[in-house]
A and B are shown apart, each in its own frame.
Chain A
Amino acid sequence: MKAVRELAITVRVNGERHELTVAPSELLIDCLRDRLGLLGVKKSCDVQVCGACTVLLDGRPVSACTVPAFETRGRTLRTIEGLADGEALHPVQEAFVEHGALQCGFCTPGMIMATVALLAENPSPTADEVKHYMRGNICRCTGYQRILEAILDAGRRLAAAPR
């Protein structure tokens, strides 16, 4: 068996198929930002603590800053850019906007992606369940209250009209 220094992978990002050759040490965040131009994935703490780089890998939230790009081979990836349907915002995005659940907006893509994953897994979470799930997404601006309200409201919206 030989060790490889590059891998040819196919990954579906926001519905679009990409064929890439990646080094094993290439991180997903650099691949998404620098090669695919998806700047909604934010490099913030770089140590998996803040959640600003949250993306959904087969629907599961992962830290793009610490996942190697090759781990996405044959899988589907969703970033903030893949949520809206043209001009129509995703219900989670709508809830965040209407509840004023963002100020500088830097943590917001990660917050929203984590919320999408949470509500897919648990469509009617309690406030405690939301807080537990979202514990790894940090916001410097809002104080979290409006984010919590937006998430609970988004749950209700999605229950009414699932996406």
Chain B
Amino acid sequence: MNSFALYEPTSVAEASEILARHGDTARLYAGGTELLLAMKEGLIRYDYLVNVKTIPGLTGLRLDADGALRIGAATPHRALEREPAVRERFPLVARVESDVANVRVREVGTLGGNLCFAEPHSDPATLLQIFDARVRCETARGSREIALGELFVGSFETCLGEDELLTEIVVPPLPARSAAAYRKFGVLERPSVGVAVAVALDDGHVADARIAVGCVGPIPQRMPAAEALLRGRGVDEASANLGEAGRRAARAAEAVSDLHGAADYKEHLVGVLLRRAFDEALATLGAGPRR
């Protein structure tokens, strides 16, 4: 790992100014569980690392008045895995967070860091999109809030400006009578396909369907064309449409053939995992599959 100098700012504004001053020779550092690995491998080098853990207010989580989960960007995965508020109100988030890497990575690695590194096989980055999660991004000059899906521009690339910090992740609760499920499959270190589904039912109809697919495309993304095949349909019709919904999702992700599998195999897997996640969500709502 190359030698670097360390900044330890005590405010977001200070960190933002440091980033503006040094441009791409500086990088924000939280847990470093992905960044330091890349630096150790020699894939990337930075002259300056900017420690965000010394900025108060970026760690911790709470439920707000609307029941949304507000997570400081520098909160370790382990906190999301273990906090009672998350386990009770957002059990799927707690479960997926508990499956990130291993316990040592979860103790040190942060959700914000995971999202900002924008590795295409991230489970949280896929899952949180079905909650319509948002992220707060701040510079010395101001802040903005964007949909999580907008954060990811490409593999290892976010829309954050050079002097911009991700400071908070907001996860709204699902609508009433909703359930969510996450399924993934892979045999390599990272999964080959990840599918997140949230379903809201209203009198035997799919009032809302949210589908996110990760690992297959360069970024994890919501699949509106697939969702359209489920939303507003009766449960049986939506169920019957799952195969085609899976194909639409895989094509939208632009699967390529690589070590994780052939493109058509991934397309097939998206359909399978979509069906399983959908059925699991329905079962949670007490509206099991009827086939």
Binding site for B on A (CB under 8 A): 1, 3-5, 7, 23-25, 27, 46-49, 51, 54, 60-63, 66-68, 70, 114, 117, 132-133, 135-137
| 4 shortest interchain CB distances as A-B pairs | A136-B102, A3-B5, A24-B6, A63-B104
A25-B3 contact, Cβ under 8 Å, with A49-B189, A60-B107:
yes
A68 touches B36 (CB 8 A): yes
**Which residues of B are in contact with A by a Cβ distance under 8 Å?**
1-9, 14, 18, 32-33, 36-37, 40, 48-49, 78, 98, 101-105, 107-108, 189
Q: Are B104 and A25 in contact (CB under 8 A)?
A: no
Would you call A49 and B6 a contact (CB within 8 A)? no
**Cβ 8 A contact of B33, one of A4, A23, A51, A66:** A66
| Cα separation A69 to B5 with both chains bound (whole Å) | 14
Given A4-B6, A136-B101, also A61-B189 (CB < 8 A): no
Min CB distance B42 to A, Å, is 12
Report if A27-B104 is in contact (Cβ < 8 Å); known contacts: A1-B14, A7-B6, A48-B33: no
Among A1, A3, A7, A117, max chain B CB count under 10 A is at A3
How far in angstroms is the closest Cβ of chain A from B190? Answer: 11
Contacts of A60 in B (CB 8 A): 78, 107
Chain B residues closer than 8 Å to A48, beta-carbon distance: 33, 37, 101-102, 104-105
Instruction: Determine if B104 and A3 form an interchain contact, defined as CB atoms under 8 angstroms apart.
Output: no
Given A51-B102, A136-B101, verify A27-B107 contact (CB < 8 Å): no
A7-B6, A24-B5, A24-B6 given; 12 more Cβ-contact pairs under 8 Å:
A1-B9, A1-B18, A4-B7, A4-B8, A5-B3, A24-B4, A48-B37, A51-B104, A54-B104, A61-B104, A67-B108, A68-B36
CB A115 to nearest CB in B, in angstroms, measures 11
A87 to chain B, nearest CB (A): 30
Chain A nearest CB from B109 CB (Å) reads 9
Q: Are B102 and A3 in contact (CB under 8 A)?
A: no
Looking at the assembled complex, report how far the CB atom of B27 sits from the nearest CB atom of chain A, in whole angstroms. 12
Question: Considering only CB atoms, which chain B residue lies closest to A117 in the complex?
Answer: B103
A159 CB → nearest B CB, Å: 21
| Chain B hits for A47, CB < 8 A | 37, 40
Which B residues are in CB contact (< 8 Å) with A3?
A: 5-7, 48
Q: Are B1 and A25 in contact (CB under 8 A)?
A: yes
- A119-B246 Cα distance, complex, nearest whole Å: 43
A35 to B9, CA, bound (A): 29
- Nearest chain B CB to A137 CB, angstrom units: 8
| Contact flag A66-B32 (CB < 8 Å), given A25-B1, A25-B2, A25-B4 | yes
CB pair B40 A46 closer than 8 Å: yes
24 contacts between A and B (CB under 8 A): A1-B14, A3-B5, A3-B6, A4-B8, A5-B6, A7-B6, A24-B6, A25-B1, A25-B3, A48-B37, A48-B101, A54-B104, A62-B104, A66-B36, A66-B37, A66-B40, A66-B108, A67-B32, A67-B108, A114-B104, A117-B103, A133-B103, A136-B103, A137-B102
Q: Least Cβ distance of B3 to chain A in Å?
A: 5
CB-defined contacts of B8 to chain A, threshold 8 Å: 4
- Chain A residues, CB < 8 A from B5: 3-5, 24
CA distance A134 to B149 in the complex (A): 33
Known: A46-B40, A47-B37, A66-B36. A136 touches B105 (CB 8 A): yes
Residues in chain B near residue A137, CB distance under 8 A = 102
Residues of A contacting B108 with CB < 8 Å?
62-63, 66-67
Indicate if the CB atoms of B3 and A61 lie closer than 8 Å. no
CB neighbours of A68 from chain B (8 A) = 32, 36
| Distance of A139 Cα from B289 Cα, bound (Å) | 41
Tell me which residues across on chain A come within 8 A of B3, comparing CB atoms: 5, 23-25
Nearest-neighbour CB distance to chain A for B104, whole angstroms, equals 5
Q: Find chain A residues with CB under 8 A from B4 CB.
A: 24-25
Complex CA gap A47/B40 in Å reads: 9
> In the assembly, what is the distance between CA of A23 and CA of B33, in Å?
18
Residue of chain A at shortest CB distance from B105: A48
